[in-house]
Every structure is written in C-alpha cells, then in structure tokens.
Amino acid sequence: MTDFRDPMAEERLAFEHPDEHLRRREFLQRTAMTAGLAASMATVLDPTTLVAEAARRQTRKALPSPRNLPIDTFVVLMMENRSFDHYLGWLPGADGRTAGLSYEDRQGNPVETRRFAPDFQGCAHPDPDHGFKDCRTHINGGKMDGFLKSKDNDEFAVGYYLREDLPFIGHAAVGSTAFDRFFCSHAGSTFPNREYMWAAQDYGHESNVIPTDTSGNPDNTIMDACDANGVSARYFFNDLPVSALWGDKGISPNRSGRVEEYYTRAAAGTLPNVTYVDPQFLNEGGGTSADDHPHGDIRAGQAFVSDVAHAFMESPQFKRGALFIVYDEWGGFFDHVPPPRVPDPRNSRNVDKDHGQMGIRIPAVMISPYAKRGFVSHTTFGFESILKMIEYRYGLKPLTRRDRYANNIARAFDWESDPKPPPQLPKAPDFISQQCSNRAPSALSRPSSRDSMEAKQAAAREKPPERPAQHDLEMLLSSGYLERLGFEYKPASASSTFREPHTVTEMLSR
C-alpha cells in the first residue's frame, strides 16, 4: 500500500498515477484540517489517526431528542457484493484508493489495480471469494493485501469503477452524504450480514445457513420490535425474500410484500415507518440478476437503485424521511482500510472466531432533507448503526450488545440547517442484464429473450457454457425451503423491478 510517509512510495505514485497522487494528497490535507491540524501534518501522521480524529470532530454536536428528530420514515435498500474502493475509491473527500495499488497473487506475481469498465459484468472472471475464512485472508492481520490469495480470485477482484461508470450511486455519493468508514457487520457472506441488518446479530452463523424448519431464526428482529411497539414496518422483495430466514412469520403478508407495492405506497405517501427493500437476486452467477452481484450487469442494478431512490425522493414522505443505500458485503473486492473489532454477542479473543470482527468496507450513501450535500462521514458505522437510529427515534430497546454499543448514524445528519429539497440526481436508464455467453443460466432461471439463437449457438461452439455456482439467496428456492413455507415463487419481471416497466418492454421488442 502507498503510504505518503514513505517518500519513495509517494514519488512512485506521483510518477505513475499523477491524478491519483494529487487526489490522495488533497484528501490527507483536508482531513488533517478537519481534525484541527495543520495541512503539513497530512504526510506525517498515520492516515488512520487523521481519519479517526476528523470523525471525532464531525460527531461533536448533540442529537435532537427522539421526539424532536424529524425523521418518520426509514428506507433501507440493500444491494450486493461490492467494496468501497472498488466502487467509490475515487470519491472526493473520502479515504479511497483506485489506481496505483498492487497485490500479489497466489504465485507471487504482482497484479495492478485497474479500471474495469467497459466490462460491467466480469463474465470471464470468477465471482470473487467472500466467505468467513476468505475475509480473514483478505484482511491478513490488517495488512489488507490478501485479495488475490484466496481460492480463485483473479484481476477482477482488484478492479474498480469510476463515477462515470456508475449511473446512480456515483452521483448520489457526490450529491448527498457518503460514508468512508461503513463496514459490513459480518466478515463473511450474505445471510449473516443480512441477519445483522434485521437483528443486530448473525445467530452464530459463519456462512449461509438455511433454517432446518419452517420456524426459521428466532424472531428477535427490528421488524418484531416495531410490531410490538406500534411502529409500522414492512419488507419489500422482488423474486426471493430474505425474510424467509425468519420462517412463516417472516414471509407473512403482514410483514412482506413485493416491490411493486413499495412503488405504489411511496407515491401515495403510505410507506411504513421502517421499510426494507431488496433487488432481484436470481441467476447472479449467470449474469441476469439486478442486485449488483457478479455477474449481473451493474447498470441493471444501478437502474433499480435509481428507481427505488427516485420513488422515495418524489414521495410526500421524503420531507421527513431518510433513505440508506448499502451493500450486504464487500464481495471479495479490494479495499485498503482494515476493519475494526467491536462489541458483539459472540465476541472471541480468537480473531478467527470473533463475530465482533467487522467485514470490509462497503459503499454506503444516505439521502434525506437532513443529509449534508457533498459530505463524507468518517465515523465507523455498520448495519447496526442504522438500527440504533431507528431505536433512538422510536424508543425501542437495543436488540443485542452489537447495536447497544454501535455509533448512532443519526450523528451523520445535519440537524441544524433547514431541510433541503431532494438532490438533483440523474434517473439511471432502465437496463436488462444479459446472460453471460460463457455461463449457462441458473437451473432455476429462464433464458433471456434478448439472447439471439445465433449468439447462443456461437457461444456453444466456442466453449461449452459453465454452470455457475449456486448463489446465496437461490438456495432458499433450490433447497425446497420456500416450498415448505408455502411461498409462491414468481420470477422477476420488468413490472416487478422498475417503476416504468413499459420502457423495458419497448427495449426488448427492438
């Protein structure tokens, strides 16, 4: 890693990547001044020390009392599998890195970070490893140099995108509030991280564990706490419901509905106080999902994010609301900031067993009338930090030790200025991700109508398509668990994904 306290390393970065060198130097200088130090200290102190002091100063001001907190509607949209540096390493004012980093692969060969556009799917590359053990390999005791040391990871894992490659979140990160110390809560895969977003714990799971019976995980979730205290809460899904992890109660019509309902209620101003939204998950490995998970086209995922965000910004509830756009975990992609260890119900002195070891940084953006524009928060947050704000606002008890001791993300808001109108953010064009030609569709997915017969035959002649590994949420369906719950599976469609599905229908008919 390039450390500006090393003159030779700084000189090399300045020569090979002058734009990245200038951006990094400006970030360190601004952070030093935010921390109350002279700009000259930027290249003297450890960047971690600078950021920590800047974060301390950012959160000095007191919060309004819960009854005076002007947020009544919380919307949480959770996408999939991207790290902060991979998506937002270019962000002005943020502790990010893009060009100029090098990682050794398993054979000891150096691999440089590079921009991955115009490849928006990575079909030719393995889905980067992102399991419990993989994360510890990537962190490597805080060195953050193990991203090419785990299993099949290749250059895709150390690729990055720039603002112009990301049709929505790139603009939202600049136009609202972003977070450069938001870590996924669990140092591992999807299910445990989503369990933290719902329950401030992973139930002791180190991997994606499907419940053994229809009762699911214990229902000690934020949804249950809201129900018990007269706070409205609801989950909106597309094809596969994460709420099924909590069994019959999780997928009950009283708790879960489809994304079309989210759009309708946002327009009518009837969204619940606590609203969770999820994207289309099926056939991630084959390339046609819309959740930003490899190998789905990120332009399709960004189109969904844009629709969810614009529906909220245009809702009557925006004036007293907050939207959080987060990613469940880092997806095996590179990042240079070591994650912390925090209080947790399942702490262990052994870091390889410690569930208080947070995962690697993720992209996270907040949109609200009370969000600072063009602001980057340096405070350490996780999914439990959003829970803590909800609990603070509605007088709910902490769910676990994790959210009890978490930083309250309400401290990243601007409570002193007048509320602002919605930020002027672009409407990302609706986009349908195409099946990877070198990978067969998921056994549970339908082939894309956009794939011509000629293209399919040519791909088959070139190389037999590989069956993608089954991905996390798909196991809920393939295992028969959803069927045992009596859940009626419906494939995602244009009308279940986008606010204006006719634009997609017209696209497919061309």
Ranges of each domain in the chain: 7-58, 66-412
DSSP assignment string, 158-212: GEE--GGG-TTHHHHHHHSEEESSBB-SSSS-HHHHHHHHHHSS-TT-SS----S
**Containing H/E element for 481?**
helix 481-484
CB-neighbour burial class of residue 9 (10 A; exposed 0-12, middle 13-18, buried 19+)? middle
Which backbone phi and psi does 88 adopt, to 5 degrees?
A: -125, 20
Q: Give residue 408's region: left, alpha or beta (phi > 0; psi -120 to 50).
A: beta
Residue 42: the pLDDT is 56
Question: Alpha-carbon distance 130 to 153, whole Å?
Answer: 10
E-only strand ranges, 348-395? 364-367, 375-377
Residue given tokens 């799971």 in the structure block = 205
Please tell me the CATH code under which domain 66-412 is placed. Answer: 3.40.720.10
Expressed in angstroms, the distance from the first to the final Cα of the chain is: 48
Question: Alpha-carbon distance 407 to 402, whole Å?
Answer: 10
Question: Alpha-carbon distance 380 to 174, whole Å?
Answer: 19
Q: Please report, in tens digits, the pLDDT of each residue of the chain (510 residues total).
A: 556 556 666 667 666 778 777 777 777 777 776 767 665 565 556 777 777 777 777 777 789 999 999 999 999 999 999 999 999 999 999 999 999 999 999 999 999 999 999 999 999 999 999 889 999 999 999 999 999 998 889 999 999 999 999 999 999 999 999 999 999 999 999 999 999 999 999 999 998 888 877 789 999 999 999 999 999 999 999 999 999 999 999 999 999 999 999 999 999 999 999 999 999 998 777 778 889 999 999 999 999 999 999 999 999 999 999 999 999 999 999 999 999 999 999 999 998 999 999 999 999 999 999 999 999 999 999 999 999 999 999 999 999 999 999 999 999 999 999 999 999 999 988 787 788 887 666 655 544 334 443 443 444 444 444 545 556 788 899 889 999 999 999 998 888 888 887 666 555 455
Which structure tokens are listed for 307?
Answer: 């629709």
Q: What residues contact residue 427 under an 8 Å CB cut-off, 6+ apart?
A: 306, 310
CA–centroid distance for 79 within its chain: 5
Q: What residues contact residue 212 under an 8 Å CB cut-off, 6+ apart?
A: none
Report whether 265 contacts 253 (CB < 8 A): no
Stated pTM of the model: 0.88
SS3 label, residue 115: strand
| CA-closest candidate to residue 422, choices 368, 364, 375, 366 | 368
CB-neighbour burial class of residue 223 (10 A; exposed 0-12, middle 13-18, buried 19+)? buried
DSSP assignment string, 245-301: GGHHHHHSTTTEEEHHHHHHHHHHT---SEEEE----TTTTTT--SSS-TTS-HHHH
Quick check: bond before 130 cis, omega within 30?
no
Cα atoms in the 13 Å half-sphere on the side-chain side of 173: 26
The maximal CA–CA distance of the chain, rounded, in angstroms, is 66
